[in-house]
A and B are shown apart, each in its own frame.
Chain A
Amino acid sequence: MPGKTPDKEPVENGGYRGGKDIDMKDKDLKPKGKKADDEMTVVVPPSKASKQSSAPPPNDAEGDVAMDDAEKTGDGEVKVDPVVQTINDIKSNFALLDRAVALFDARFSLRALRSISSIRKRLTPDILAQAISETYTSSSPGAGDAKKLLLAIGRSDVSLGRQPGPEMEIDSEPKASGKNGAKKEPKEVIPEIDIFLAILTQVALHDSKQFQQGFEFSQYLVDRVRSLNRRTLDSLAAKAYFYYSLFAEQLAPLPPSPRSPIVSIRPTLLAALRTAVLRKDVDTQASVIVLLLRNYLLTSHIAQADLLVSHTQFPENAANNQVARFLYYLGRTRAIQLRYTEAHEHLTAATRKAPSSACALGFSHSATKLLLVVELLMGDIPDRATFRQPNMETALQPYLLLVQAVRVGNLGDFETVIAEHADTFGRDGTYTLILRLRQNVIKTGIRMMSLSYSRISLRDICIRLHLGSEESAEYIVAKAIRDGVIEATLDRERGFMKSKEVGDVYATREPGEAFHDRIRACLALHDESVKAMRFPMNQHRLELKNAQEAREREREMAKEIQEGDLDEDDLGGEFEGM
């Protein structure tokens, strides 16, 4: 930052220090929490907010930032009215947005977006209306847009250009001068601030459950965002699309119905995607791809989702939470298409990328559940420790029973679990996948038999696995032998299965492969962390300078050697030192 003043230093550093970290965690807070609402239908927005506030702030990166902000805006104030405080918070973000435009640095807009989650708890239409009316003057060119905002929150009677209250004056004055120099009064409202207020409007409408109104307003907003071509607007635009699609999902014919409004917003989203790609707008691109995928999967248009994935490229440097979601949806698509290995890979990545804080619990739950089912489908038994995690235990209970049934290979248990928890599985969207597990249960059962008995009659197999008939048992066992599930032979005349001796696992290449996999994972982790590291700007120039100096020193030394000023001893010492 070339022109920064010393008093801003700590804030800047804060941005740098935890930059990436905060990015991931906080940005995840809101949307992931949202997803929890939608997918789990357990957590509703208000309770989520309370959960957020109950989270211990010191551990939370977002808490840090919020506190920073509070210190900044609350300079010299002892008692703060919550309404005024909220308005101040909103306004403090304008400064960030201003800076984002001035310095062309997206991180400032990201920080502004991040603060939405903390503002959200206190946001009411009245507060928002006041903030809007204080931002715009009735004569400014943005007045028309401001009127629209006010109309959307049902406060169209509020007049624009209201002067801020006296206590506002006190702290907004030093703040403005501290941040933007003397650029206060004739301030023109930049589109970023405009859109930011519009997003707040969306949030307010969503939290007060005015979905129809929110949807109409979002349509207007999305059109407006598209008409503006500003790179500093990218991250804001992504958010606007996010709420747009969220509103559409909540409207009358709910998603599985082909008449749901989410079908009608697809052209808009696709157009947005095209524009985003053309403009190299990574934020919008990532977020719209994720929204489209979600959209398709909600109406079970698997083929379309698959085509979308194969025809687009998910931006590499997208925000972490978008990557996690993308991987989740991709994993889901692949699981449905029976491409379990890929599904497993994507879902593992998704669960690992999911933030560990309590706010994104819903996402972690959904991803973990799907991952467990996919693991079972692949013939693996998931780790017992997964079910012991304190915040997952209850949610995963039905899955634990399922895993137990599959592990033992008991078809009867398996069917009872399915029948008992059909609703839960249906709600999680794993029901059809779980139905496919039947064959795995049978295979496991056969494997258990083959391990325990060296010779067993087909009739016994049939009875123990509750299969229909001996003939079925014979075919099933034969298939299992062919698929390499067991090492055995069948004797048709006498009707039994004879197991072969099992070889030593350590004589095969399996341990080597497992070892190789782990090493590869570690190496990939190392590479990724190197890539993810953030280096201070212009640091390399300093190093270059040092190198230059060193070279000069060397040259000098060489010169001295040439001139014979340096002793042989000296030289030797030098080398030893090196």
Chain B
Amino acid sequence: MADRQLTTVLTQLKTNPPYAEASALLSRAKLLLLQLNALTPTPATPAAVLALARATYEQGALASIRAKNADAFTRYVAQLQPFYELCGGGGGGGAGPGGPGAEQNKITGLYLLLLLTQGRYGEFHSELEALATKGGSAEADRYLGYPIRLERWLMEGSYDRVWKAMMKKGEVPCEEFGVFSEILTFQIRSEIASSSERAYPSLPLSSTKSLLFLDSEGAVVEFARSRGWIVRDGHIFFPTAQDAGDEGEQDKEMSQMVIENTLGYARQLETIV
């Protein structure tokens, strides 16, 4: 009974309805899951129901990504985790990881990307480690490889590759991944800006446009203003930090540290001798 209703709800969900409609459908699906006693998985849950429940959560996760609701997405991912563990690794779980028809890699890939955009690198790598021990090369996977490559490029600083990967049609594995491109663009732009401040004495306006992946020189000027840069004679000059004052302070700090350390040694010597 309930499982048949659930199947119809799921087919409706898979047609990508608008978020409000989707969330209504999802709450109905969850109620049905509750009737089936499959809201949280146990080894005793029949496989068919398990697959249904998993599909429901997966649809929920995708819907919340489309609605850019990061918190809801994280919640769905957390709920999916036990399903994947129960289905994956078991004998005869099916063709792909996470059982047949599962979109585990897609969800995990999206989650990785989310962690990346939020700067939660520690969790990103924890997740990666888990993927590595599950076997199979994560990098070769279409969905998983994308965030992994992005992270590597971000870390080493090849921002142009990140940019290309986001902008080229064929590179982005599916539309849900595109949601993050805006955040990522903003992120790399500010990264580039902060490194440019230190690396260049000055920059010509025209080439700054391509450097920052902006569309026009007007946008460059606007961006420069927002960062507090000085635009003069078609060049951008970066305000230099007050070095002199800093140094004096540092000196003072250093001598204080030396005094502190020496006093510390003296005290320790006293206790030893």
Residues from chain A with a CB closer than 8 A to the CB of B158 are 467-468, 472, 475-476
Q: Which residue of A253, A300, A477, A481 is within 8 Å of B133 (Cβ)?
A: A300
Tell whether, in the assembled complex, residue A302 and residue B132 are in contact, meaning their CB atoms are under 8 Å apart: no
Residue interface mask A471-507, B partner, CB < 8 A = 1: 1101111111110000011111100000000000000
For the side of the interface on A, what is the size category? 35 or more
Instruction: Tell yes or no: B34 within 8 A of A by CB.
Output: no
CB contact list, B119-140 vs A, under 8 A: 121-123, 125-126, 128-130, 132-135
- Complex Cα distance A161/B160, Å? 81
Known: A256-B135, A302-B129, A482-B194. A339 touches B122 (CB 8 A): yes
Residues from chain A with a CB closer than 8 A to the CB of B155 are 436, 438-439
Tell whether, in the assembled complex, residue A492 and residue B203 are in contact, meaning their CB atoms are under 8 Å apart: yes
Q: Which residue of B90, B129, B265 is within 8 Å of A259 (Cβ)?
A: B90
- Complex Cα distance A471/B31, Å? 54
Nearest residue, chain A, Cβ from B89: A257
Tell whether, in the assembled complex, residue A256 and residue B157 are in contact, meaning their CB atoms are under 8 Å apart: no
Instruction: Tell yes or no: A299 within 8 A of B by CB.
Output: yes
Known: A478-B195, A482-B195, A509-B254. A438 touches B152 (CB 8 A): yes
Nearest residue, chain A, Cβ from B86: A258
Minimum Cβ distance to chain A for residue B271 (Å): 9
Tell whether, in the assembled complex, residue B160 and residue A489 are in contact, meaning their CB atoms are under 8 Å apart: no
- Complex Cα distance A439/B157, Å? 8
Tell whether, in the assembled complex, residue A258 and residue B85 are in contact, meaning their CB atoms are under 8 Å apart: yes
Known: A438-B152, A516-B261, A526-B272. A479 touches B135 (CB 8 A): no
Tell whether, in the assembled complex, residue A489 and residue B201 are in contact, meaning their CB atoms are under 8 Å apart: yes
Residues from chain A with a CB closer than 8 A to the CB of B268 are 523
Tell whether, in the assembled complex, residue B195 and residue A336 are in contact, meaning their CB atoms are under 8 Å apart: no
Residues from chain B with a CB closer than 8 A to the CB of A306 are 126
Instruction: Tell yes or no: A469 within 8 A of B by CB.
Output: yes
Which residue among B129, B132, B157 has the maximum number of chain A CB atoms within 10 Å of its CB?
B157
Instruction: Tell yes or no: B105 within 8 A of A by CB.
Output: no
Instruction: Tell yes or no: A387 within 8 A of B by CB.
Output: no
Minimum Cβ distance to chain B for residue A471 (Å): 4
Known: A339-B122, A476-B158. A512 touches B195 (CB 8 A): no
Residues from chain B with a CB closer than 8 A to the CB of A523 are 265, 268
Instruction: Tell yes or no: B191 within 8 A of A by CB.
Output: yes
Instruction: Tell yes or no: B263 within 8 A of A by CB.
Output: no
Residues from chain B with a CB closer than 8 A to the CB of A435 are 152
Minimum Cβ distance to chain A for residue B23 (Å): 27
Instruction: Tell yes or no: A16 within 8 A of B by CB.
Output: no
- Complex Cα distance A484/B173, Å? 35
Nearest residue, chain B, Cβ from A256: B133
Tell whether, in the assembled complex, residue B265 and residue A489 are in contact, meaning their CB atoms are under 8 Å apart: no
Instruction: Tell yes or no: B2 within 8 A of A by CB.
Output: no
Minimum Cβ distance to chain B for residue A277 (Å): 26
Q: Which residue of B152, B159, B258 is within 8 Å of A512 (Cβ)?
A: B258
- Complex Cα distance A469/B200, Å? 19
Residue interface mask B190-204, A partner, CB < 8 A = 1: 011011111111011
Tell whether, in the assembled complex, residue A303 and residue B89 are in contact, meaning their CB atoms are under 8 Å apart: no
Tell whether, in the assembled complex, residue B192 and residue A478 are in contact, meaning their CB atoms are under 8 Å apart: yes
Tell whether, in the assembled complex, residue B156 and residue A258 are in contact, meaning their CB atoms are under 8 Å apart: no
Tell whether, in the assembled complex, residue A338 and residue B125 are in contact, meaning their CB atoms are under 8 Å apart: yes
Residues from chain A with a CB closer than 8 A to the CB of B38 are none
Minimum Cβ distance to chain A for residue B12 (Å): 32
Instruction: Tell yes or no: B88 within 8 A of A by CB.
Output: yes
Instruction: Tell yes or no: B224 within 8 A of A by CB.
Output: no
Residues from chain A with a CB closer than 8 A to the CB of B257 are 509, 512
Tell whether, in the assembled complex, residue A490 and residue B123 are in contact, meaning their CB atoms are under 8 Å apart: no
Instruction: Tell yes or no: B211 within 8 A of A by CB.
Output: yes
Tell whether, in the assembled complex, residue B156 and residue A476 are in contact, meaning their CB atoms are under 8 Å apart: yes
Instruction: Tell yes or no: B207 within 8 A of A by CB.
Output: yes
Minimum Cβ distance to chain A for residue B176 (Å): 24
Residues from chain A with a CB closer than 8 A to the CB of B169 are none
- Complex Cα distance A89/B5, Å? 70
Residue interface mask A426-451, B partner, CB < 8 A = 1: 00000110011011001000000000
Instruction: Tell yes or no: A337 within 8 A of B by CB.
Output: yes
Tell whether, in the assembled complex, residue B160 and residue A475 are in contact, meaning their CB atoms are under 8 Å apart: yes
Residues from chain B with a CB closer than 8 A to the CB of A339 are 122
Minimum Cβ distance to chain B for residue A524 (Å): 10
Instruction: Tell yes or no: B161 within 8 A of A by CB.
Output: yes
CB contact list, A338-366 vs B, under 8 A: 338-339
Residues from chain B with a CB closer than 8 A to the CB of A489 are 199-201
Minimum Cβ distance to chain B for residue A533 (Å): 14
Residues from chain A with a CB closer than 8 A to the CB of B191 are 479
Tell whether, in the assembled complex, residue B194 and residue A258 are in contact, meaning their CB atoms are under 8 Å apart: no
Tell whether, in the assembled complex, residue A490 and residue B200 are in contact, meaning their CB atoms are under 8 Å apart: yes
Tell whether, in the assembled complex, residue B125 and residue A337 are in contact, meaning their CB atoms are under 8 Å apart: yes
Residue interface mask A243-267, B partner, CB < 8 A = 1: 0000000000100111100000000
Tell whether, in the assembled complex, residue A493 and residue B199 are in contact, meaning their CB atoms are under 8 Å apart: no
- Complex Cα distance A438/B148, Å? 13
Nearest residue, chain B, Cβ from A522: B268
- Complex Cα distance A300/B131, Å? 8
CB contact list, B152-174 vs A, under 8 A: 152, 155-161
Which residue among B89, B198, B257 has the maximum number of chain A CB atoms within 10 Å of its CB?
B198
Known: A467-B158, A475-B157, A523-B268. A338 touches B195 (CB 8 A): no
Q: Which residues of B contact A (CB under 8 A)?
A: 85-86, 88-90, 121-123, 125-126, 128-130, 132-135, 152, 155-161, 191-192, 194-201, 203-204, 207, 211, 254, 257-258, 261, 265, 268, 272
Query: What are 15 sample pairs from A and B whose C-beta atoms fall under 8 A apart?
Result: A258-B88, A258-B89, A300-B130, A300-B133, A300-B134, A336-B129, A338-B121, A468-B161, A475-B158, A476-B156, A482-B194, A493-B204, A512-B258, A523-B265, A526-B272
The list of the 7 closest CB pairs from A to B, nearest first, reads A479-B157, A302-B126, A482-B195, A337-B122, A300-B130, A478-B199, A478-B195
Given A299-B133, A431-B132, A472-B157: 12 more A-B contacts, CB < 8 Å: A256-B133, A259-B90, A336-B126, A432-B128, A438-B152, A472-B158, A476-B156, A478-B196, A479-B156, A492-B203, A492-B211, A512-B261
